[in-house]
Structure 1
Amino acid sequence: MSPLLPHLVLYLLLLTVVTGETLQPRFYSETCPEAESIVRREMKKAMIKEARSVASVMRLQFHDCFINGCDASLLLDDTPNMLGEKLSLSNINSLRSFEVVDDIKEALERACPATVSCADIIIMASRDAVALTGGPDWEVKLGRKDSLTASQKDSDDVMPSPRANATFLIDLFKRFDLSVKDMVALSGSHSIGQGRCFSIMFRLYNQSGSGKPDPALEPGYKKKLNKLCPLSVDQNVTGDLDATPQVFDNQYFKDLVSGRGFLNSDQTLYTNRETREYVKMFSEDQGEFFRAFEEGMVKMGDLQSGRPGEVRFNCRVVNRRPIHGLLEA
């Protein structure tokens, strides 16, 4: 058993899908009718500026929602009295493109001051990251409030490491009422974006402490990764998560079938008997993958802790007092 699981069980007792805010489609139809179009416009601008940024923004939903629900706690900067989630083990030197969320928030504040939560921005922007890169487009439920606090420890206790395997991920996702199929489909978020050499060095040179590479790696792909990530590499160097890193498609699953999964947690989805059939199904049927991914993203977006929240004026800090009809950070 992973040493994190006892902490995870206690933590998840506090998290439910049914408490918290009532979420609904078109939540801002009267208070900020242009909210979703503003978010998509800003995401398009971000993608033009740096194609990788939209994939980075999509990752924020996963790393936010699994820690006390989808409440934008991930975005809070550290304070003298609070260690936030940005520097947790799974996030430090890994999560990025926070400035894209800042730009979206600024645009929304100009149009509809103190109305659209940072938590909802993450959900809308994640959907748009998929749609803008060729993937499915779906209706999101909105109405979340933003967290008043964040916890580095909570993130450390919950989020998996790059060494996680399919068995650990199945257990983790099930505790959030996400099925094995949900987990495999949501892992398809790696259809776009890049990962760091840091996350795969053990696969290339010391899998399971053996001093040898991961035997699941296809030889030609292993050679490519060895060239990208030699032992002397700056481990922040990045490589593509699949063969079409700027297009949201089912190539990710095709790569897993051929032994070309970048991360250990990716490739074990094919070597594990419980997840292999879903990998094969999604590799052969992109439409089925898209449908399952949409369903999983909506279910993940429903996660809430039920803790008090607010609509933050600045996504990186907790609001302190109202001023001139707005909330001052």
Structure 2
Amino acid sequence: MTSFQKTVSRAPSGAVPEDEQRLLAEGEALENFKTVVKSGTPIQPNKVELGISVGMGKFGPIYRAMFNSYNGSIHDVNVYLLKNVSRLPDEQLVKLTSLLKSNIAAGAHQNVVSLCGLSTVGSDVMLMWEPLHQSVLRGVLRESRCARFGTEPFNMASFLSSERLAAIAIGCCNGVEHLLKKNVFPTHLSTSNVLLAERGIVKIGGFGLAEHHALDMTTESAPTKLRWMPPEYFKKDQKMIYNEQTMLWPLGVTLWEIFSLGGTPFTSLRQAQTFIDAMRDGSAQLETISYCGEAVTQLLSTCTSHIPEARGDIRTIIKRLECISADAKTQINLCYREDFPYLPIITPLEQQDE
């Protein structure tokens, strides 16, 4: 058994997990929240200059801001202002505490959406994030299809090169590896919760408050997690343990999204119940990406094995991707032709839930 794991019940949507129920029963929600806030990296509020509002999150407004750091440099950041925290109902406060705890535990990493610091301002709490107004990977992948450069004919099936796709995949894996080491599980991992920052650096979200759509920065509908969840999730009357092997399944689906240029996973299983049944009986398989070589196909098959122990480990996955990167043009053949086999994009399937 891997050293990092977390057991979760397949409770009905909206149900409160057991650890949160205990805090509610003991009436310690606010004190526990304050303790978690104190464990984060403190910032001085007067170092932050709020700019325009860019959205409304679940717990308050989100702003673009400038951070005047202690060495005199100025940084572009986002601020999530949690309003009147002490007045939140205990159930919401417990949920907020759980989410914030994950972000603090994750710490800083170049491939993770990082919480830079926080501060209490009266009854509000200011969370300072690295910039969130970045491109969402899913959109970039889909928009990259069949790019035309000026009046020249199509040469490549994507403006993202084979090498770039491999680098994006490795960046995603590096971010997930870091989170697993911190015992943080990005349970909403998909390309819709991955950002592309400056210089094309990949940033993993989908955990705690670092979920792009949870911050409501866009009006685009967020995919549900159904088609990214591992088979273990669908076992009836059984608790699922989040661990390295469990997380390799959604990572594998995310890698498939990258190499398929934003395709929708499991499109051969159109009905939600049909998909769930196939996950339970072990017949659900990702569609083969015909322009990818054997190394990519085998890697995706390994990550999405219905036998958790057969999925390997994240470090081995990264090494295999590095080998693919060294021969990227062969393993990911993006030479364009009129009948280039793009995988389908079917947005309604991505919105399916149980």
The structure richer in helix per residue is 1
- Whether TM exceeds 0.5 here: the answer is no
* TM-score, with structure 1 as normaliser: 0.26
Larger radius of gyration: 2
Report which structure shows greater RCO (CA 8 Å, sep ≥6). 1
The structure richer in strand per residue is 2
* TM-score, with structure 2 as normaliser: 0.25
